[in-house]
Structures are given as C-alpha cells and as structure tokens.
Structure 1
Amino acid sequence: MGANEVAVRFRHTCGVDSGPYPFPLAASISSLKEKLLAEWPAEGPLAGERPASVAEIKLICSGKFLENNVVLGSLKHVLGEPGSDVVVTMHVVLRPPLPAKAPAAPKAKEPESKSCCCIS
C-alpha cells in the first residue's frame, strides 16, 4: 500500500464483506460508491440486493453517514496513518431514492357552521 493510499473494506448489512480495495486519499466517497457498484457480486447473498445506481448506496464510517463530496484524506481521524497496513471498514446501507414529492393539493375549506348558541 502506497503512502497516499488507504485500504477500504465494505461490510454489507447481511454481514458479507467486499474488498479490501486500495483507494487514493484524494478519492471522494462518490468514487468509492462507484467502485462498490462496479464490483457488486453477481452471485451469492448480495446478488438480489444490487442497487440500480450509486444514489441508493449510503456509506457509514465511525457511526456517521458520509456525504458524496467528502474525500478520504479528510477522514484522517478514522483512517490512521497513510501507508500503514490498516484496513478501514465502511458499512453499506441501501436506500432506494425518495420519490419526488407531488405538489400538495389545496385543502378544501370546511363549510362554516352558522348556528347560534345561548348560554344562560
């Protein structure tokens, strides 16, 4: 492993691991997701869970969801020293994209009651 690389293992919710794969410290989380999707197994327990796109993949590291624009080099507190034999495990969660919200229909006004009341 080079001085500017880190090994990342992906652990799926079913307990199956993918990797470890070497990534440069300049790699973004988005590029990790692309690699994970490209290397998704065609057989085994994960074959039926293959996401349609990287938008469905969420990565968790140290209990936090990682945003697509984050680069590995900014996670030094998790990765340890570059070039060491440490393998970082990231958890993989699949979430289908949220459906686009339809504009809310205007609420129909309830008819106002026109009754009177006398209190004595």
Structure 2
Amino acid sequence: MAAAELVDIKFRLADGTDIGPDKYGPSSTVGSLKEKIISQWPKDKENGPKTINDVKLINAGKILENSKTLAESGLPVVEDPGCLVTMHVLVRPPIAGKKSDKLRHKDTSKPAGCSCSIL
C-alpha cells in the first residue's frame, strides 16, 4: 500500500481531547479503528469503553458500521497529504441494571401522560 493511500485520522473524545492522529488505509475496518481507540483510551479518564460495541464513531454526521471499511463508509481518500480527518467518538455509558429490571420496577401510580378535556 502506498503512503499516498493512507489517511490521517484523529479521534475526538467528548471532553475535547484527541487520540491520534494515526495513518490508516482505506481497507481498514471501522471495528479495527474502535479496537485501536479502546487500546489507546487515556487511563486517567473514567468510564472508558470495554468493547467495540460501547463505541460509536461519527464522521460527517454519519455513524459508521463496524463491519465496513473506511472506503465503504464514504471516507474520502484524501489526495492532499497534509489533510487530517477528525472522527467523533461517543461512548455508551455503563448500564447500572438490566432493562428488564427497570420495566419490572416501573412506578405505575403516576399518570402515563397528559390528558385533555374538551368542553
């Protein structure tokens, strides 16, 4: 793979800090990028992702799918070697309990919504 085919990508975390930039080929999968993010996650930050399913990558307003390559995801192969692509990283916060527990313990004494009266 020629160096001209590589794309510089940095990952912007929610607090404004960055991971990278690093060079990736257009055949790199989104899942492999997420694995790299998890391995380079800053140790001083709380609630870091545990699996690639805890991470969402956003580029140009679009959430990227794990199984797709960068080329398939619509990432332009940058011809200008000085250009840098920034992807936003969202991390799903850890879930305290299961959804089924929340549904079982739902308070039914409160009204379900608003009501209207037409006179």
TM-score, length-scaled by structure 1 = 0.70
Which of the two has higher C-alpha Rg?
1
Structure 1 stretches of at least 4 aligned residues deviating more than 6 Å after TM superposition = none
| 2:58 equivalent in structure 1 | 60
TM-superposition CA deviations, 1:8-30 (whole Å, max 9, x none) = 11001111111101111110100
How many residue pairs end up in the alignment? 100
Structure 2, unaligned stretches of length 5 or more? 102-119
What is the identity, as a one-letter code, of the residue corresponding to 2:40?
A: E
| 2:81 equivalent in structure 1 | 84
| 1:36 equivalent in structure 2 | 37
> Matched residues in 2 for 1:10 and 1:79: separation?
16
The verdict on how the C-alpha distance between 1:100 and 1:16 changes in structure 2, with shifts beyond 3 A counting, is same
CA contact (8 A) 1:2 1:83 kept: no
> Matched residues in 2 for 1:3 and 1:83: separation?
9
CA contact (8 A) 1:59 1:65 kept: yes
Structure 1, unaligned stretches of length 5 or more? 103-120
What is the identity, as a one-letter code, of the residue corresponding to 1:61?
A: N
Paired residue secondary structure (2:16): coil
The verdict on how the C-alpha distance between 1:52 and 1:35 changes in structure 2, with shifts beyond 3 A counting, is same
1:94 is aligned to 2:91: yes
What is the identity, as a one-letter code, of the residue corresponding to 2:5?
A: N
> Matched residues in 1 for 2:84 and 2:66: separation?
20
The verdict on how the C-alpha distance between 1:83 and 1:97 changes in structure 2, with shifts beyond 3 A counting, is farther
Paired residue secondary structure (1:34): helix
